Amino acid sequence: MQQKFFFNTANRLWILGILIIAVTLFRFWYATQLELIGDEAYYWYCSRHLDWSFFDKGPGAAVTIFLGTHLFGDTVFGVRFFAVLLSAAIGIGLYVLASMLYNEKVAFWTLIVVLFMPLYAVGSILMTIDPISIFFWTIAAIAFWKAQEKHHLLWWILAGVCVGLGMLAKYTNASELLCFALFCFWSPKCRQQLKQAPFYIMIGVALMFSLPMILWNYQHQWIGVMHLLQRGDLNKSWHITPSELLVFIGAQVGVISPLIFLGVIISVFWPHCAAKEREQTRFLQSLFIPLFGFYAFLSLNKAAEPNWPAPCYVAGIILLVGNWEALKNKVPWVKKYVLLALTIAALETLLLHNTFWLHLPIPSAWESCSGSSWIGKAIQGYRDLGSVDPLDRAHGAESIALHAEILAQEQGTNFFISDNYQTASLLSFYLKGHPDTYEPAFDHVKDQFSFWPSYRDRYPKGSRALFIYLWRYPPKELRNDFLIVRPLEEAYSKDGMRPLKKYYYSICEGLKKH
């Protein structure tokens, strides 16, 4: 009787509704318990300097944060408000897509599995490009499936709009058009769509959204395109390095959870486990294989970042759950590991929300451990980066800003400079009044700060600045701009009393005018 009650469709909807509301409320609270990470602060800084596009991304994240901070102010909640809403909308979108392709039961368990996945669960509170990208990827998939079923032009246009809006956040959302084309070519039923106008109207609508980014890049000598090539090491000679591919696969295992990742890969690449709904299977494989395959191929040269293939798991998880019955019949032993897979994923997600009690090592504890051996170099690398605790990325920025303010008052400096865009953006967010911050006036384009007015343009000759940086020696460009660059002190950023990253502070005196 209890089992019949639980698997009743109406009761599952109630359970999901309550679960989504509860998880969303928790995420709104939890989002305020962590400081901004560097990328979030950078997108917030971009939201104060809105443009058609930016050096490394389209305007999607900046515009979204602009809306959030205009509703709730320049606060952590304001920055992350739409990240939490989008994560809830992604869950609903997954439910709708799985219901369309399979049934309500598959949709229910798809959403349950996603709630357990570290990548989606923890990433749901961070206002980066990923929530926007995954949301529009999901809605575009829904619209395309409706379009090829209903043959109504509005669905084709909606699919194009969603792909285009996703591109404004993450360029790789354009690859969803390739996924749609692959499905049409692969499916005898839909192959005719490649010969009809609506398919190309969809592509045209999507590409219209790229015009702002194309215009910006044209005006700036295609610097954004060059940056994309550099991110994948495509501007250098190609070297096949199997260890880099293993790093990429290992990262996917970590962010997806080991057994869930294994299940997804089996469901996608082992055709014998597919359920009878061949069209649905082809569609989901088409949404997964191009993007995952592209980053796996790039990783033969240099490992892709763990979050880069995130949109393809929209299809991967639905395919895993949708083909579950067939998978159990073909591989009977996997049935025993369902509970284990969900338990491991749940523990990973729980730990990523609160790592304090794990007592992970911190940099200050490793000062004497570095040496010439490969172990010592590895330890030194971790120490320079900060910590093995992933949550440490979301701690310490406020302490840096507070220490910088004290030093600035003591030394009578006029403005703040940092050696990288993340620290400069975090300083601007956490300093009182959110002042503009700067990078040294490098003689090459380093990031978006290179396009904004520099301290040379805004401050008079002889001005003094406080320089906050991660590496021991200031860059030569800074010494070219000031008469004196004098080391002041070094201090760790802190999470409470726990030291994290070491920062160096220098006084820059006598700004020159070139």
Q: For position 201, what pLDDT does the model report?
A: 96
φ, ψ for residue 98 (rounded to 5)? -65, -35
Taking only the tens place, the pLDDT of each residue in 285-317 is 999 999 999 999 989 988 888 889 999 999 999
- DSSP three-state, residue 29: helix
Sheet of 482-495: strand order equals 415-418, 465-469, 498-511, 482-495
- State residue 370's pLDDT score: 42
The pLDDT of residue 85 is 96
Q: Which of 319, 189, 219 is nearest to 264 (CA)?
A: 319
What pLDDT, on the 0 to 100 scale, is given for residue 382? 40
pLDDT number for residue 360: 58
Is the per-residue pLDDT at 347 higher than 70? yes
Task: Return the SS3 of 423.
Answer: helix
- Kindly report the average pLDDT of the chain as a whole number: 85
Rounded to 5°, angle at Cα 242 from 240 and 248 = 110
Give me the residue spans of the domains in the chain. 2-353, 356-390, 395-511
The mean pLDDT value for 152-180 works out to: 95
Whether 174 and 163 have beta carbons less than 8 Å apart is answered as yes
pTM, rounded to two decimals: 0.89
Question: Are residues 38 and 424 in contact, defined by beta-carbon separation less than 8 angstroms?
Answer: no
Residue 376 has pLDDT above 60, yes or no: no
pLDDT at 372 over 50: no
Q: pLDDT band for 341, please (50, 70, 90 cuts).
A: confident
